[in-house]
Amino acid sequence: MIIVTRLNGQEFALNPDLIERADSTPDTVITLVDGTKYLVAESLADVARLIREYRALVIAEAQRAVSPTNTPTLSAVDEPAPPTVVPLHRRER
């Protein structure tokens, strides 16, 4: 979530994945994919920067979660056995 400010000074969190577009008219208007519009105090450049920083943080967290130091390794004992096929029923001939 990104934190933006209403024109009255109240901050709120906004999901940047739901933003369809942002316009500067001269106030910044954020339009969501469902058509909801928000007037915010941040400039268009600031909104774009907040979105970039949010996405970079998400990617960094995902990479940290799957980094080589965090992933368990399988030894020969831990390796799963190959799958076997078991028929549900056999037809009598």
In a domain, 39, yes or no: yes
Query: Structurally, how many domains does the chain consist of?
Result: 1
Tell me: the pLDDT tens digits for 48-68?
A: 999 999 999 999 998 888 876
Element (H, E) at 24: strand 19-24
User: Mean per-residue pLDDT for 21-45?
Assistant: 96
What pLDDT, on a 0 to 100 scale, did the predictor assign at position 51?
A: 96
In a domain, 88, yes or no: no
User: Mean per-residue pLDDT for 23-29?
Assistant: 94
Tell me: the pLDDT tens digits for 74-89?
A: 555 566 666 665 555 5
In a domain, 81, yes or no: no
pLDDT range class, residue 73, cuts 50, 70, 90: low
pTM over 0.75: no
Largest CA distance in the chain: 81
In a domain, 87, yes or no: no
Beta strand 2-5 pairing with 11-14: antiparallel
- Contact call for residues 16 and 22 (beta carbons, < 8 A): no
CA–CA separation, 6 vs 37, rounded Å? 11
Tell me the β-bridge partners of 5.
Answer: 11
In a domain, 24, yes or no: yes
In which domain, by residue range, is 38 found?
2-65
